[in-house]
Amino acid sequence: MLWKPDQSSPLEGLSETIDRAEAPTAGLFADAMVRTGTASTALPSTDAAKRLRHLIEAEAWTDAALALLATALPGWSLVRLARDDDEWCCTLARHWQLPDWLGDTVETRHAALPLAILAAVVEASEAQLEVAGAASGGGRRGTVPACGRNADAAAQALCCDNFI
């Protein structure tokens, strides 16, 4: 019998919990902080984590969700926030200059604005973990197979088309 290591994400199940929640709670935000790595007991508290805790204590849920976005995903930005049919639609992108279909984007919907942002932060964190796992050898090495005698020959290919 083969042993298969547990490859579950630390964020697994959190998206469903956020989807089922009707209103934001301190416990939900604390869970998101811990699972995204923003709050760690091993590391000393940073100013951003302290600010985030103060926002949660004050029940400033939207500001807390935006602070969690800035702390947990520094390379991502809020691109779109709109209310449509009694739901908030939140779109995050890694490269805001690119169209949605071309760049890395995450879109979530929820009836509560802070939970829509929080769900997007969790999904973007999951996407970032998947990319990190693939880069470290957890996923496929490349989408195009290397051809030629050595693998570096494919990196030196040139376009030889005549465009005149």
Per-residue pLDDT tens digits for 137-162: 554 444 444 454 554 544 555 666 77
Q: Which domain holds residue 58?
A: 14-136
Which of 10-14, 85-89, 96-100, 123-127 comes out lowest in average pLDDT? 96-100
Q: Is residue 158 part of a domain?
A: no
Q: Is residue 20 part of a domain?
A: yes
Per-residue pLDDT tens digits for 64-82: 999 999 988 888 999 999 9
Question: What span, in angstroms and rounded, lies between the C-alpha atoms of 136 and 50?
Answer: 32
pLDDT value of residue 87: 94
Mean of all residue pLDDT scores within the chain: 77
**Looking at the predicted structure, is the pLDDT value of residue 59 above 80?**
yes
Q: Is residue 42 part of a domain?
A: yes
Q: Is residue 32 part of a domain?
A: yes
Please classify residue 12 by burial: count the beta carbons closer than 10 Å to its beta carbon, then call 0-12 exposed, 13-18 middle and 19+ buried: exposed
The domain tally of the chain equals 1
Q: Is residue 151 part of a domain?
A: no
Given a contact cutoff of 8 angstroms between Cβ atoms, the answer to whether 70 and 77 are in contact is: no
Q: Is residue 162 part of a domain?
A: no
